[in-house]
Structure 1
């Protein structure tokens, strides 16, 4: 099983139990409540899947806030999107060469793939803690994610993807170290 599929499955497990009355809950990702974070995932998800197929995917909405969670089954749409991301990154060809998220700027496919793993894992945690759940990620995925995030954290911060690092104890779990790197407080409640 790939790290993309592991991160997607973990997020899907969380999504299965989110109730509509939890959509207004705040998340550790300060700019988003649960609804806005699901909007974010639904808006950018097709581009994440398209990057694995090396194809540009037009966005169905003009902005994240235009995604309508009331239009149909948001949970079903999110789960289908996670499946699409997983299948698009499954072939070895997805990890070769350059790719993009529908913009002229390209990145090496392994870098983009690792960014997607981070997006799914960290936002999966955001959704989990915002709705009183735990995110279960395999130790091997967490070790890989820590190494790739640590290597690119300053670039991510410069791009506005991460906030200032949050200090964690020396004996913190790998997940807590990853969250601290992204600017999240692992003890957020």
Structure 2
């Protein structure tokens, strides 16, 4: 039987892959000013292997190259193989947050990143991220109290906490330092 982390990863990576499959310009700007569309997936493919390898968990690094979608599929398969191993998911590691299971680390960092960056890639390519409102609302609830720390980390744009009059998608986008109304400039 597949574990919960494997199921979550498969679903989140699949939704991101569906958006990636419809990207026609990998050099299109994104809501992250210094990134292009390809950089969204390059980010996800780059930091996870580095973090896990540093904690003694082997995950091959996949270079993006010219075929961004093929690289994404290869990376996703590598991660899926890892998370389908129940012993690995239960393995205790330390990535600077104290001892946690690999599953906890992936859920806290990587699965959340898959969800959040789906919005960046969708916006860059004129698609709907189809963020599940309840997931976005839960992330806002969990992250809003640490907005100041998010901004100080340098890993997000300047966070803005929006009130309940905004949708969960708008609130989460603003909290991770994005302009919820961002759209690519059409020439």
Task: Tell me if TM exceeds 0.5.
Answer: yes
Runs of 4+ in 1 over 6 A off after TM superposition: none
* Kept after mapping to 1: 8 A contact 2:140/2:172: yes
Q: Structure 2 regions of 5+ residues with no counterpart?
A: none
Counterpart for residue 176 of structure 1? 170
Per the TM alignment, residue 178 of structure 1 is displaced from its structure 2 partner at its CA by 1.3
Q: How does 1:89-108 map to 2 (within 5 A)?
A: 89-90=83-84, 91=86, 94=89, 97-100=92-95, 105-107=96-98, 108=100
Counterpart for residue 46 of structure 1? 49
Alignment RMSD (CA, Å): 3.1
Q: Structure 1 regions of 5+ residues with no counterpart?
A: 61-66
> Which of 8, 25, 28 is matched with 2:28 structurally?
25
Q: How does 1:1-189 map to 2 (within 5 A)?
A: 2-19=7-24, 22-47=25-50, 50=52, 55-57=57-59, 59=61, 67=63, 69-70=65-66, 73-90=67-84, 91=86, 94=89, 97-100=92-95, 105-107=96-98, 108-109=100-101, 110-168=104-162, 170-189=164-183
Q: Deviations over 1:155-177 (max 9, x none)?
A: 33222111222354532222221
* Kept after mapping to 1: 8 A contact 2:64/2:72: no
What TM-score does the superposition give when structure 1 sets the normalisation length?
Answer: 0.73
* Kept after mapping to 2: 8 A contact 1:28/1:185: yes
Farther off after superposition, 108-117 or 177-186: 108-117
What TM-score does the superposition give when structure 2 sets the normalisation length?
Answer: 0.73
Q: Alpha carbons of 1:6 and 1:153: their partners in 2 closer, same or farther (altered >3 Å)? A: farther
Counterpart Cα distance in 2 of 1:12 and 1:154: 31
- Larger RCO (CA under 8 A, 6+ residues apart): 1
Q: Deviations over 1:31-58 (max 9, x none)?
A: 211123332233224346x47x960447
Count of residues in Structure 1 that have an aligned counterpart in Structure 2? 173
Counterpart Cα distance in 1 of 2:105 and 2:64: 31
Counterpart for residue 64 of structure 1? none
Q: Deviations over 1:116-163 (max 9, x none)?
A: 122111211101000001112334433443343335443332221112
